[in-house]
């Protein structure tokens, strides 16, 4: 086998490994960090801080598609720890 073929195979293996690693780390489209297509409610979050970050990244007070701020004061899921 020539050196060129060996290096080509090594290159393909490296590129394939990088692609696999990146795709295995990609977040789910239904991840709270991305919003996804499902509806999230306060019990879907562990803490108020986590819910607040999600709330703000999905429109915050001006747009609350998940209805996490029931009293419209800008604070999501106030009953969470």
Cα(51)–Cα(33) distance, integer angstroms: 10
| % residues pLDDT > 70 (the chain) | 72
> What is the separation of C-alpha 41 from the centre of its chain, rounded to a whole number of angstroms?
16
Residues 6+ apart with CB under 8 A from 38: 30
Band the pLDDT of 4: cuts 50, 70, 90: confident
* pLDDT for residue 29 is more than 70: no
Cα(31)–Cα(69) distance, integer angstroms: 19
């Amino acid at each position: 086998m020539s050196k060129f073929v060996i290096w080509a195979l090594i290159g393909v293996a490296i590129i394939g490994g990088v692609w696999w690693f990146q795709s295995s780390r990609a977040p789910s489209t239904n991840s709270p960090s991305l919003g996804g297509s499902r509806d999230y409610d306060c019990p879907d979050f562990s803490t108020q801080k986590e819910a607040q970050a999600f709330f703000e990244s999905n429109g915050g007070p001006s747009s609350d598609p998940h209805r996490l701020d029931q009293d419209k004061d800008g604070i999501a899921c106030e009953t969470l720890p």
